[in-house]
Structure 1
């Protein structure tokens, strides 16, 4: 289900957006799970961690909508593997895709972590798509060879898969200077 929030501390009503039914299957139900509580499907507070039902696969999309804070430093959206191994304190989980927006230098970076080692950050984009105190919409499309990243409907870049087991990509993590208004 789509979730809309009014403020950082508000407990929002659950609202379904009929237009995005095809996106709503991306995250499980009771679906949104945080390290602190078993079922927080009615809350999308930052930092946020939620399970991706059945992992990623070609054709699956992740949608993150939000509003950038008035004086932002950065925001991160990561698709990670092995959420349970992180809780158990074992080997650090792989990160299939980490998107980082850095406002000071207007960079939108992407990287991955495989077997505990980070890849080099990829940085080139045509423009910086985020504006303080303004809404945004990030779409992550999973294809056979790559992730395609769109912001506000514009294709920004492709990120070729470093983690080859799509079904192991089971968690989305969101951090930084933003308010999440919808996740699907």
Structure 2
């Protein structure tokens, strides 16, 4: 019995909000996500700032129509929270649409990409890097596009929402 108490103490110490980096030393987690169930809504600790990155790893469903990843200013539904960036993968058109929504007004949609990176029933890795003038978005390690900030108060961008035809395997 004493062995199991020591084991559970070790789990608590490893599960105290720290992640291990590649060198094995603990680093403070900036993003806290309790469960990876779609639709998903999670808090980004301290909001966005230049140099901060959001990572979404998952697997596209077998017969997908679309999925979306959004960074928002809170999670309010009424009135709806401002959307700093929404990435929407549309499989019928093989498009990755980007837009924002501020005070209920949608911005100008962007759709140009060099290629459509998502494949049904395959894993993917999306990184959204916040830089001073823009978000720089990478899929599977390749830079796909830039999206210039339409919300200037980056720290207000403190929520990630994910929905659609995918499973989330890791967030960071």
Please state which band the TM-score falls in when normalised by the shorter chain.
0.7 to 0.9
Distance (Å, rounded) in 1 between the aligned partners of 2:63 and 2:45: 34
From 71, 96, 108, the counterpart of 2:63: 71
From 83, 98, 102, the counterpart of 1:110: 98
Deviation at 1:19, TM superposition (A): 2.9
Distance (Å, rounded) in 2 between the aligned partners of 1:104 and 1:65: 22
- Specify the alignment match of 2:148 in structure 1: 160
Preserved contact between residue 21 and residue 27 of structure 2 (Cα < 8 Å): no
Give 5+ residue unaligned stretches, structure 2: 1-14
Deviations 1:145-169 (CA, angstroms, capped at 9, x unpaired): 0000000000000000000001110
Distance (Å, rounded) in 2 between the aligned partners of 1:137 and 1:24: 21
Task: Pick closer, same or farther for the CA change 1:156–1:19 going to 2, 3 Å.
Answer: same
Higher CA-based Rg: 2
- Specify the alignment match of 2:38 in structure 1: 46
From 125, 133, 138, the counterpart of 1:150: 138
From 19, 24, 37, the counterpart of 2:22: 19
Task: Pick closer, same or farther for the CA change 1:115–1:176 going to 2, 3 Å.
Answer: same
Distance (Å, rounded) in 1 between the aligned partners of 2:109 and 2:22: 34
- Specify the alignment match of 2:122 in structure 1: 134
User: After the TM superposition, which parts of structure 1 deviate over 3 Å for at least 4 consecutive aligned residues?
Assistant: 20-24
Task: Pick closer, same or farther for the CA change 1:128–1:166 going to 2, 3 Å.
Answer: same
Give 5+ residue unaligned stretches, structure 1: 1-13, 33-40
Preserved contact between residue 60 and residue 166 of structure 2 (Cα < 8 Å): yes
Distance (Å, rounded) in 2 between the aligned partners of 1:93 and 1:104: 28
Distance (Å, rounded) in 2 between the aligned partners of 1:130 and 1:161: 24
Task: Pick closer, same or farther for the CA change 1:77–1:68 going to 2, 3 Å.
Answer: same
Judging by fraction of residues, say which structure has more strand: 2
Q: Is 2:165 the partner of 1:177? A: yes
Q: How does 1:18-37 map to 2 (within 5 A)?
A: 18-19=21-22, 25-27=29-31, 31-32=32-33
Distance (Å, rounded) in 2 between the aligned partners of 1:118 and 1:47: 21
TM value normalised by structure 1:
0.79
The aligned length equals 155
